[in-house]
Chains A and B, each alone.
Chain A
Amino acid sequence: MSSLREKLSRLKGLSSGAEKEARPVEEAPAAPPALESSEPEDGGAALETAVQAAAAAISETTVQATSQLTDQAAAQATDQATDQANANADTPAVSGVAPDGFLHPAFKKLGIVEESNAFGAFLLRRIEYPLEHRHGIYPLGALVDYAACLKPVAYRQNQARLDSEGQERMTPRKKKKLSVKDAYRLPLPEPEDTGKEPGAIEPGRLLFFDTETTGLGVGVGNVPFMIGFGYYDEGRARIVVEQTLIRHQGEEKAMLQYLLERMNGRTHLVTYNGRTFDWPVLTSRFILNGWRPNGTEPYHLDFLHPSRALWRNTLESCKLSRIEAERLGIERHEDVPGSLAPELYVRYLNDGDASHLEGVYLHNEQDVLTLVTLAAHFGALLADDPANEIAVPQAAEELYRTAAWLELHGRTEKSERLFSELAKRGDAHAERWLLPAADRYKKLGRYEQAVELWERAARKAEDAVVPSIAAHVELAMHYEHRNRNYRLAADYAERALELTCRLPVFGRENPKRREERDALEHRLNRLRRKSERG
């Protein structure tokens, strides 16, 4: 009888899953097509190049930033890294964990140190930036100027919790029998401690963060191996970026404890999609490491939502890298795409060569800095500062979305300025914003401005290949009910009817279109009767 091992090796090629390619789960963002289709070997080569480029780029940043490393030390470290890499080629390392006190040269080069607490050790990289450091179109210090303006965004995102705050505190938590674990109930930031009203934003009480995980989706096997934090150190007037890394999962608890310490005294988690990805993943990790959620959520400031509100129709995607390049003036040179991070980490786990992770460190650091820039950007948009209109967008569609977004967040005056700016724009392109903007004026009872936009939309429609009759119908209604100009109303209704007949019909007519036409005919008959009588 053959042994278990022999059977296993025979079954190897047959096992339904063991050797299958990793398959992204539903929630997964799609990997770039070039990488998706390439063979593992090609992917490997691409990674190698990316890593080398990133390594080159990183030494640049470390110099730029107020890093603990001098140029000389960096150069030395690079040499060591190369030696180590060569050595690794001959003797495969057994594990990523080095003996006590020994850190891989690639780690040393990045200024990484071992950090420990009651739950063990993990690796920490810390970089400080002066407030004048520019990341894109803003100096990082702009955060200090504009953070307070983010309050309405934060309020909208945490409304449910803020409104029920009083009751929440009253409900006594049921005592659980798991006494040991109770000791580690997840302490969430307590906004009341600040003595200010809930939802207030202070730059020093924001925790920017971004995780790099081993996989996709929010299943319990997806492990954040790196957490990048960013925060404003008021006393020293610095923006600090910290990056924690676990060399194996045994270090996770210590890293999570560090995250809790960083959260302590801070009010909001500032992320990009952190509300539905990073934080749920971390919540799982807390639970797996013995913590229990206390039923409340931390306050989120997730910039994915405002980014979508502003740029959904004007950028090809709302990925952070697109926004950086198109709107924030941030260029990434030879960046390792975030989607490669899981594979690079697994490589590191398998051969212990920390140089695989250099690109990941740099990528994560950039992400965290971009969050700071985004905070400044959205804050600046919301600021009531007529002198500072740097952020007013050029495209009419984006101008409309910005104006609507500002209005939604209670910035009426500024929004009003943008809306009147918008009315002046004579865009040659299809103006999607005309109707919603007119609709807004209608709701506000400012019919004159609404009519102006409807008329523009109606003119557009008449020239369009596939016309929409919405503006004509609005105008017909307006002239019938408010202006009692039945002749003009009938005129618009008739033109609308003409427009609907302009479209060819394929096979059976769309019942919706049929209804639309019936309604128009009905309206037209009524208007004709009325205008004869009047």
Chain B
Amino acid sequence: MIKKRTLPELIAELRTNENIVNWYEMQPEEARTRPFPESVDSRITAALERRGIARLYTHQEEAYRLAAGGENIVAVTPTASGKTLCYNLPVLQAIAKDDTSRALYLFPTKALAQDQMSELNEIIKEMGIDIKSFTYDGDTSPTIRQIVRKAGHIVITNPDMLHSAILPHHTKWVSLFENLKYIVVDELHTYRGVFGSHVANVIRRLRRICRFYGSNPVFICTSATIANPKELAEQLTGSPMRLIDNNGAPRGRKHFVFYNPPIVNVPLNIRKSATVEVNHLAKEFLRNKIQTIVFARSRVRVEIILSHIQELVKNEIGSKSIRGYRGGYLPKQRREIERGLRDGEILGVVSTNALELGVDIGQLQVCVMTGYPGSIASTWQQAGRAGRRHGEALIIMVASSTPIDQYIVQNPEYFFDRTPESARINPENLIILVDHLRCAAYELPFKETEEFGPLDVTDILEYLQEERVLHRNGDTFYWANQSFPASEISLRSASQENVVIVDQSNVAAVKIIGEMDRFSAMTLLHDEAIYLHEGVQYQVEKLDWEHKKAYVREVDVEYYTDANLAVNLKVLEIDRTRSRGRTAVHYGDVAVNMIPTIFKKIKLTTFENIGSGPIHLPEEELHTSATWLELTEPDPELGTKTLEQLLLGIANVMQHIVPVLVMCDRNDIHVAAQIKAAQSGLPTIFIYDHYPGGIGLAEDVFKRFDEVKDAARRLIQKCPCKDGCPSCIGTEIEGIDGKRKSVQLLSLL
């Protein structure tokens, strides 16, 4: 039998690997601590001491001091720095002092909420104080619900549940709302974009109800490192915040390595696939029994890597000890995987950014990222999954050939020296605001003078009155409608209707194996699509669009599918314009029509195209805000064909750069190029928010357009390819001198 190698040995070996382009070493750090403040109940300190906590880290102590003094705080802490004590300590202290005190914990997902409850209950048990903490989510049984409402000191839930089950039934929660001392918002940084904009409005509703019951709770937020934690927390909670960022937790030595796959086609600058490289790297760690997490950027990618790795090590490790993890798995399955990782039973996990969040899976030794995760903040979050308090940890980012990946590995200082991105929300998005005003009016009547965020909402209330949703009497707007508004509004996506995935492989035992939002389903669950779930391939036999069901059957094929989406844009209104010489940049409202056209079958091993087919689905329409660049006097010498290629190339670069600059999910913002835009007949590049009504991303792009433009130009210039490659403007097109002309075009803007 071959001797197993240790992590330090493997690290030493990796140092000589020629594909490593940057090696960054983070030195170990000592802990900085302070004693427990005197005011802390002795039963709490005793319980913590028994758990090996004799002193507080500096950030924990500061959090306690400020929160107990009635200040709203946002604590920024890296993974595994004991952030939960930042809120548990003040909360437990408040309840130990006064049994009527109540606290509400908000976690972005059910999984995190359940984790938190088990951790909290362990401490409470040791304290010997009768404090009841409960999770309240869709899985809570009706009998338990009654108890939680009446007697729960700490109610742990998620924003969706708060929105649809707690706030519209607030009269059942009198004892919670009358005595609410603290509202804890964990994983603050996840509340951005569409979701964050919704949650900010849910919190407005929550505060309104607290005011009605006469309570004025303190907010305690915790966040991963982002550029604007204080601003985000203030926007989200509508309250002034104190920032805590003096992390006092210790850290072991960490190696952060950039790995660029070798070039296999020099003229076209085509590199070896990142997926293939990741498979081999991960295999090496796993066969030496080193616990490893692999991050991939899409659900499909997760499944592909999972099946490859399982295949590579199948003779050495059982396939059950390497698992996939992503949204769409059923909760029970996920709990089982988390537990397996904590107790070491599961050796490797391949995950989407679902595990970026604070789900407790213990600390692993190695983290491998398949491509740049899309933002600096996200990268640090994923990197935080590897690293124990003592001993070494290794993080490898394997670059893909996309422009932004190549830009990052070739400019490591961009990543290591820059502050992470800002998280942006736009709670004033009209559709979101109107939806939550309806919910708010359902919950409590609106006075004309009442505030709901910074905007004057009287106009909207009057509009809802005309729509016969509200009824006005004197200075008060009352709910006057038969519906239950919260059930019509989903916080997570533009459409509430998810597509349910039904496995009918076994006719006698048809079962639901997952679900997917409507927009993703257009391109991932169309007829004949190959859908991967836990490494198993399924083919979609029928997508029943009307009833939102996809019927799948297990298959064993050598390919996966990739769908094309045709997009059409129409300008509805121009709000702002900046003209400069031969170009103009506009910001305004657009209508986007989307329709999936065809899908391609791509061979798993070689990634070559082996067939295609049509997709028949109805068109979807989206009204949103956009920023667009118009060439008012295009150079006639370029020729239409060439110009079109240049625009497509620049759009490709921008699609990668913009989400990084404005910090949003790739799916939140889209870029499209048109050689003859419908409204002007001019060559145009559109950058639009992928959400009805827009969420402020395109507006941000409008303000920072020069930054976007410069980043695009630098990226193209710095790319080592000869004249265009998939890492910048797309594949080279013979004879148009695309790279030089693109740079020229961008310089003219």
Contact = CB atoms under 8 A, between A and B. Distances in A.
B576 interface: yes
Contacts of B416: none
Interface in A241-283: 248-250, 283
A420 interface: no
B169 interface: yes
A293 B483 CA distance: 27
Given A20-B483, A176-B178, A250-B478, 11 more contacts: A1-B576, A2-B575, A7-B589, A16-B489, A25-B484, A25-B487, A215-B482, A220-B169, A248-B471, A287-B171, A346-B481
Please name the 10 residue pairs, one residue from A and one from B, whose CB atoms are nearest each other, closest first. A221-B442, A17-B488, A22-B483, A284-B171, A248-B473, A249-B478, A22-B482, A287-B171, A215-B482, A221-B479
Given A8-B434, A288-B171, A221 B178 contact: no
**Interface majority SS on B: helix, strand, loop or mixed?**
mixed
Nearest to A225: B480
A17 B438 contact: yes
A395 B59 CA distance: 76
Interface residues of B, number: 57
Nearest to A293: B174
Given A215-B484, A220-B168, A343-B482, A292 B174 contact: yes
A468 B435 CA distance: 56
Contacts of B443: 220-221
B495 interface: yes
A174 B100 contact: yes
A15 B474 contact: no
Interface string A291-316: 01100000000000000000000000
Interface of A: 1-2, 4-5, 7-8, 10-11, 14-23, 25, 95, 97, 174, 176-178, 214-221, 223, 248-250, 283-284, 287-288, 292-293, 342-343, 346, 349-350, 507
B573 interface: yes
Contact of B495 (A16, A219, A343): A16
A22 B479 CA distance: 13
A14 B487 contact: no
Contact of A5 (B168, B459, B495): B459
Nearest to B483: A22
Contacts of A215: 481-484
Interface stretch (B263-271, B295-303, B462-470, B539-547): B462-470
Contacts of B431: 11, 14-16
Contact of A221 (B168, B455, B459, B623): B168
A346 B468 CA distance: 8
A346 B508 CA distance: 49
A220 B488 contact: no
Given A11-B431, A16-B435, A178 B214 contact: yes
B572 interface: yes
B444 interface: yes
B174 A22 contact: no
10 contacts: A4-B459, A8-B459, A11-B430, A22-B481, A214-B481, A220-B443, A221-B168, A249-B471, A346-B482, A349-B471
Contacts of A8: 430, 434, 459-460, 463
A214 B489 contact: no
Given A10-B589, A11-B623, A248-B471, A18 B434 contact: yes
A283 B170 CA distance: 12
B482 A214 contact: yes
Contact of B692 (A16, A25, A248, A507): A16
A5 B463 contact: yes
Nearest to A248: B473
Interface of B: 100, 168-172, 174, 178, 214, 430-431, 434-435, 438, 441-445, 455, 459-460, 463-464, 467-469, 471-474, 476, 478-489, 494-496, 508, 572-573, 575-576, 589, 621, 623, 692-693
Nearest to B456: A4
A205 B650 CA distance: 82
A11 B484 contact: no
B544 to A, nearest CB: 20
Nearest to B100: A174
B473 A249 contact: yes
A37 B100 CA distance: 50
Contacts of B171: 220, 283-284, 287-288
B482 A249 contact: no
Contact of A15 (B174, B435, B482): B435
Nearest to A2: B573
A178 B215 CA distance: 11
A224 to B, nearest CB: 13
A20 B438 CA distance: 13
Given A249-B478, A349-B480, A19 B467 contact: yes
A284 B484 CA distance: 15
A222 to B, nearest CB: 8
A284 B496 CA distance: 28
Contacts of A350: 468, 471
A355 B410 CA distance: 77
A14 B692 contact: yes
B484 A23 contact: yes
Contacts of B576: 1
A177 B469 CA distance: 36
B496 A250 contact: no
B484 A218 contact: no
Contact of A17 (B100, B430, B485): B485
A221 B482 CA distance: 9
B749 to A, nearest CB: 24
B476 A17 contact: no
Contact of B478 (A4, A22, A248): A248
A95 B473 contact: yes
B171 to A, nearest CB: 4
B435 to A, nearest CB: 6
Contacts of B463: 5, 8
Contact of B484 (A217, A292, A346): A217
Contacts of A18: 434-435, 438, 464, 467, 469
Contacts of B472: 95
Nearest to A97: B473
A450 to B, nearest CB: 37
A99 to B, nearest CB: 14
Given A10-B589, A23-B488, A220-B443, A250 B482 contact: no
Nearest to B489: A17
Contact of A216 (B459, B474, B484, B575): B484
A8 to B, nearest CB: 5
Contacts of B573: 2
A176 B174 CA distance: 12
A342 B471 CA distance: 14
A144 B576 CA distance: 78
Given A18-B438, A220-B169, A249 B575 contact: no
Nearest to A215: B482
